[in-house]
Amino acid sequence: MAEAERIIGTPDSAGADESAASDGTEAPVERLRGRRRIVALFTVALLAYLLDLGSKVLVVEKLEGREPIRVIGDLLRFDAIRNPGAAFGMGEAFTIIFTCIAAAVIVVIIRLARKLYSLPWAIALGLLLGGALGNLTDRIFRSPGVFEGAVVDFIAPAHFAVFNLADSAIVCGGILIVILSFRGLDPDGTVHKD
- Residues classed as catalytic: 153, 167
| Cα 101 from chain centre | 12
**Counting beta carbons within 10 angstroms of the beta carbon of residue 135, is it exposed (0 to 12), middle (13 to 18) or buried (19 or more)?**
buried
Q: What is the helix (H) or strand (E) element at residue 151, kind and residue range?
A: strand 151-157
Backbone angles phi, psi at 157, to 5 degrees: -70, 155
Query: CB neighbours of 126 closer than 8 A, spacing ≥ 6?
Result: 40, 41, 42, 43, 44, 45, 48, 173
Edge-to-edge strands, sheet with 69-72 = 69-72, 76-83, 151-157
Question: Do the beta carbons of residue 131 and residue 105 sit within 8 Å?
Answer: no
